[in-house]
């Protein structure tokens, strides 16, 4: 199968996952298009982060089917699984960097593991990725020496260093002040547009959702309750969706909205 021509990066049909006797995602059917930002939303404990981990096979599958980048993730092992993981970037909440290594050495790890490039070429590629997130000045710093926003950008650069087709991000704005969160959102949108990346972002941040999302998948108790474009979600009369977005008028940050307009 020519996965490069597949219009969807994720195709899930009645997908179920869980641990032992516990089922967390009961019946997930959705398709996520290439070149888009899809936000996975919902209340705490609804299965958002589990969905993200399940797409790369980190949670045991219990039923249904899911194909990611044209591959049956559950059937992959050995070299095939390694090749698949090289096509997916994962941005962790805390950046996912090793504290004892510099930013440079952290970003070199995926390139050393998945390519046969010479060290000078690897270093050049790392500098290029850091330039894209405006972080070349921090190349020799340790993660503990970075601010929260810098740490998130470094984590994003690490997720992108192999130029993956798909980037998964779990609560990227968690722990950031509103202005820094808006800056990170602008960065993700810019790189999606410039590089044609596909992003799946788990978040409950309403401001962030409105800034970055092309599409919304809303979960509740392990089921998909809404799956559609952002504008349809904002106008939805479904109680769960309507109540979720109704928080925006109470929790909005005018200062952040003004900053977003300036960034664009």
Model confidence pLDDT, tens digit, residues 162-219: 999 999 999 998 888 899 889 889 988 988 898 888 999 999 889 999 999 999 999 9
Same domain? 125 vs 50? no
Band the pLDDT of 251: cuts 50, 70, 90. very low
CATH of the domain at 65: 3.40.50.300
Structure token pair of residue 223: 């089921």
Same domain? 185 vs 152? no
> pTM score, two decimals?
0.86
Same domain? 146 vs 171? no
pLDDT at 191: 85
Same domain? 170 vs 144? no
Q: Which of 147, 163, 179 is the last residue of a domain?
A: 163
Task: Go through the chain and tell me how many residues it has.
Answer: 264
Angle between helices 119-132 and 103-114 (to 10 degrees): 120
Same domain? 25 vs 137? no
Are the C-beta atoms of 144 and 99 separated by less than 8 Å?
Answer: yes
Same domain? 171 vs 76? yes
Determine whether 234 is exposed, middle or buried from the number of CB atoms within 10 Å of its CB (0-12, 13-18, 19+).
Answer: middle
Same domain? 104 vs 137? yes
Q: What is the extent of the structural domain holding 10?
A: 3-87+165-263
Same domain? 100 vs 221? no
Query: Nearest 5°: CA angle at 187, between 85 and 134?
Result: 95
Residue 66 phi, psi (nearest 5):
-145, 130
Q: What is the pLDDT of residues 95-116, one digit of tens each?
A: 789 999 999 999 999 999 999 9
Counting the structural domains of the chain, the total is 2
List, in sequence order, every beta strand (DSSP E) within the chain. Answer: 8-19, 22-33, 37-41, 61-68, 71-72, 88-91, 166-170, 198-202, 215-220, 223-229
pLDDT > 90 fraction of the chain, expressed in percent and rounded: 62
Strand partners for 218: 41, 226
Same domain? 169 vs 245? yes
Q: Which of 136, 163, 190 is the last residue of a domain?
A: 163
Q: How far is CA 151 from CA 73, 106, 135, 208, in A?
A: 30, 12, 10, 18
Q: Which of 139, 163, 187 is the last residue of a domain?
A: 163
Same domain? 171 vs 67? yes
Same domain? 29 vs 116? no
């Amino acid at each position: 199968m020519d996965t490069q021509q597949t219009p969807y990066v994720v195709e899930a049909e009645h997908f179920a996952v869980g641990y032992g006797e516990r089922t967390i995602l009961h019946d997930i059917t959705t398709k996520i298009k290439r070149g888009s930002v899809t936000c996975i939303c919902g209340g705490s404990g609804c299965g958002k982060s589990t969905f993200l981990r399940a797409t790369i096979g980190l949670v045991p599958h219990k039923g249904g089917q899911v194909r990611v980048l044209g591959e049956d993730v559950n059937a992959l092992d050995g070299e095939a699984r390694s090749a698949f993981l090289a096509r997916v970037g994962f941005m962790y909440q805390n950046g996912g960097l090793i504290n004892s290594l510099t930013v440079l050495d952290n970003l070199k790890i995926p390139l050393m593991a998945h390519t046969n490039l010479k060290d000078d070429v690897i270093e050049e590629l790392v500098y290029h990725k850091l330039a894209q997130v405006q972080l070349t000045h921090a190349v020799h710093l340790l993660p503990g020496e970075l601010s929260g926003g810098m740490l998130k950008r470094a984590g994003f650069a690490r997720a992108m260093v192999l130029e993956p087709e798909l980037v998964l991000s779990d609560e990227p704005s968690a722990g950031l002040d509103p202005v820094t969160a808006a800056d990170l959102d602008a960065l993700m949108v810019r790189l999606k547009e410039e590089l044609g990346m596909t992003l799946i972002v788990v978040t409950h941040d309403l401001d962030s959702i409105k800034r970055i999302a092309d599409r919304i998948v809303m979960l509740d108790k392990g089921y998909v309750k809404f799956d559609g474009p952002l504008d349809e979600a904002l106008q939805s009369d479904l109680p769960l969706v309507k109540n979720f977005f109704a928080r925006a008028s109470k929790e909005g940050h005018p200062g952040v909205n003004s900053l977003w307009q300036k960034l664009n």
